[in-house]
Amino acid sequence: MNNKLYDKLIFELSRQGRRGYSLPDRHFPDAIASFPDALLRKSDIGLPQADELTVVRHYTNMSTNNFGVDTGFYPLGSCTMKYNPKINEEMASDPVIASLHPDTPVRYCQGALAIYHTLAEALAEIGGMAEFTLNPYAGAHGELTGLMLCRAWHDSRGDRRRTKVIIPDSAHGTNPASAAVAGLQVVPVRSLPDGTVDVEALAPLLDDTVAAMMMTNPNTLGIFERQIPEIARMVHDAGALLYYDGANLNPMLGIARPGDMGFDIMHINLHKTFSTPHGGGGPGSGPVGVRKGLEHLLPNPRVIKKTDGTYDIISSPDAMGRVSSTLGNFAVVVRALSYILSLGADGLMEAGGLATLNANYIKESLRDLYELPVDTVCKHEFVFDGLKDKSTGVTTLNVAKRLLDYGFHAPTIYFPLLFHESLMIEPTETESLDTIDSFISAMRDIALEAASDPETVKSAPHTTPVRRPDDTDAALHPRLTFDEL
Ligand SMILES: *Cc1c(COP(=O)(O)O)cnc(C)c1O
């Protein structure tokens, strides 16, 4: 239990003259005297002043007010990586790697270029693609890169009428957003009741104005699109390219490859599939892979391996252009390679299989109490449409909030938009059977509580440091600074 004193803002804990160090008053008198007077600060900077122990307690208490994967289970859907093995963090924070400057001349960073190139080759093998760039900084950035590359391909063939992108209605929101940013028009295609693309609805949409179709497989409901060879044939017959959103590739690792399914371009979220913490918006990495025949269009700069075994950074005149100022988020690249090498081919396959098993186990253990709108074997994740018993008035939001009282992070809620009460669960491969069983038991308790004592569920959480913040007010009137009273 935290002492409320240290929960105050550090500015509120500040007392004039308190400090956690002692240095002679004018420690660098000569240096200060040599600065031009105009550059010297005249007024107080207004930093908080506190003793060392107060600072330590304040920040340590703050860190325990937050929920993290190091303190409990995170069933958040469409998000994959939650637990990131510590060895990968150790690799990324090695001083040799962490202090590398992006402009280091190539002859001094051959090791870093080898890491980049080795990961790009591993991803090409995993995705069944010819070549990868690791430059894009996020999944959405990868989508944008892939779609711009697709435009560059059509343009290079003088085919300039292709301005549309077909996207299933179950897609992640970044798909239509990226298409719009790439200057392409979004054409939605509907899903069947089982969550897969309606091939009959797709056929009339395909013509010579379509640049690409974007797909996620397994899709956002965690369901494998069995019609994919047929869809690939239809898209290619129409002269368009097929784009694979591989943000959450984990159930496919070593089992099926987008390149073999007929995809031309894909991105992978390293921060979702290959071990990088990604709460709070970053840092990420969204490498883009292409099939044979499109490699020349990949963005500059590019890392190549020369015949003498050394590496170089080049700019190709054929490239689609540049999408990043550097070769991407290098620390994320290091973690991903560390993860892949430490698991090995067998370990990667096992991770996907376990993630799939865990998701199906939870689904089957809760389906008598929660509404299962798509009843089939899922991959790494699945979606409930709220509680089965709708008469209690207890919503998905209430269930998610009540889970916090049981010491679990909430699942993804109200996404995908296909159902009113979506509650999306993705356990991943790292959780023990005991943890999963205790989550199932909490979900069952909450469902029973919703019937016997709905008010307790509706007013949850009861035990967290902050209860129900007004999300709308916080978004409309953010208070981001501390005004001294
Ligand atoms: C997370 C996600 C994205 C977007 O990735 P960001 O790195 O957040 O930009 C795209 N597609 C799917 C299916 C995702 O789950």
Tens digits of residue pLDDT in 78-129: 888 888 899 999 999 999 999 999 899 999 999 999 999 999 999 999 999 9
Which pair of tokens denotes residue 313? 């950074």
First and final C-alpha spacing in the chain: 28
Residues near 62 by Cβ (< 8 Å), separated by ≥ 6? 7
Does the pLDDT of residue 259 top 90, yes or no? yes
Q: Does the CB atom of residue 381 touch ligand 1 within 6 A?
A: no
Q: Does the CB atom of residue 284 touch ligand 1 within 6 A?
A: yes
- Which of 29-38, 270-279, 385-394 tops mean pLDDT? 385-394
Q: Does the CB atom of residue 139 touch ligand 1 within 6 A?
A: yes
CA-closest residue to ligand 1 atom 7: 139
CA separation (Å) from 63 to 12, 81, 461? 18, 21, 19
- 257, 289 in Cβ contact below 8 A? no
Task: Summarize the confidence of residues 231-239 as an average pLDDT.
Answer: 98
**Which position has the higher pLDDT, 341 or 20?**
341
Q: How many residues does the chain have?
A: 485
- Nearest CA to 45 out of 75, 68, 14, 69 is that of 14
Tens digits of residue pLDDT in 401-455: 999 999 999 999 998 888 999 999 999 999 999 999 999 999 999 999 999 999 9
- 445, 406 in Cβ contact below 8 A? yes
Quote the ligand 1 centre to 300 CA distance (angstroms).
23
Q: Which of 221, 223, 245 to mutate to test the pocket of ligand 1 (most atoms within 8 A of CB)?
A: 245
Q: Does the CB atom of residue 145 touch ligand 1 within 6 A?
A: no
Atom of ligand 1 nearest to the CA of 272: 1
Query: What is the pLDDT, as a whole number, of residue 223?
Result: 87
Query: What is the pLDDT, as a whole number, of residue 278?
Result: 78
Q: Does the CB atom of residue 138 touch ligand 1 within 6 A?
A: yes
Report the percent of the chain where pLDDT is more than 70. 98
Residues near 421 by Cβ (< 8 Å), separated by ≥ 6? 371, 384, 385, 386, 387, 395, 396, 414
Q: Which of 145, 147, 172 to mutate to test the pocket of ligand 1 (most atoms within 8 A of CB)?
A: 172
Q: Does the CB atom of residue 248 touch ligand 1 within 6 A?
A: yes
Does the pLDDT of residue 485 top 50, yes or no? no
Does the pLDDT of residue 77 top 50, yes or no? yes
Q: Does the CB atom of residue 78 touch ligand 1 within 6 A?
A: yes
Give the whole-angstrom CA distance, residue 35 versus residue 29: 10
Tens digits of residue pLDDT in 262-317: 999 999 999 999 998 876 666 899 999 999 999 999 999 999 999 999 999 999 99
Quote the ligand 1 centre to 322 CA distance (angstroms).
21
CA-closest residue to ligand 1 atom 6: 139
Helix pair angle (396-405, 433-452), 10° resolution = 120
Give the whole-angstrom CA distance, residue 134 versus residue 115: 11
Q: Does the CB atom of residue 176 touch ligand 1 within 6 A?
A: no
Give the whole-angstrom CA distance, residue 44 versus residue 303: 49
Q: Does the CB atom of residue 140 touch ligand 1 within 6 A?
A: yes
Q: Which residue's entry shows tokens 């420690």?
A: 27
Atom of ligand 1 nearest to the CA of 248: 15
What phi and psi, each to the nearest 5 degrees, are found at residue 337?
-65, -40
Quote the ligand 1 centre to 15 CA distance (angstroms).
45
Which pair of tokens denotes residue 195? 């969550």
Query: What is the pLDDT, as a whole number, of residue 2?
Result: 61
Quote the ligand 1 centre to 55 CA distance (angstroms).
37
What is the chain's mean pLDDT, rounded? 93
Query: What is the pLDDT, as a whole number, of residue 258?
Result: 97
Query: What is the pLDDT, as a whole number, of residue 31?
Result: 77
Does the pLDDT of residue 1 top 60, yes or no? no
- pTM over cut 0.85: yes
Which pair of tokens denotes residue 397? 């939001």
Q: Does the CB atom of residue 285 touch ligand 1 within 6 A?
A: no
Give the whole-angstrom CA distance, residue 327 versus residue 405: 43
Quote the ligand 1 centre to 453 CA distance (angstroms).
37
Q: Does the CB atom of residue 217 touch ligand 1 within 6 A?
A: no
Quote the ligand 1 centre to 174 CA distance (angstroms).
7
Report the percent of the chain where pLDDT is more than 90. 76
Q: Does the CB atom of residue 426 touch ligand 1 within 6 A?
A: no
Atom of ligand 1 nearest to the CA of 171: 13
Tens digits of residue pLDDT in 358-369: 999 999 999 999
Q: Does the CB atom of residue 216 touch ligand 1 within 6 A?
A: yes
Query: What is the pLDDT, as a whole number, of residue 194?
Result: 76
Quote the ligand 1 centre to 269 CA distance (angstroms).
7
Which pair of tokens denotes residue 155? 């343009």
CA-closest residue to ligand 1 atom 4: 139
- 133, 145 in Cβ contact below 8 A? yes
Q: Does the CB atom of residue 75 touch ligand 1 within 6 A?
A: no
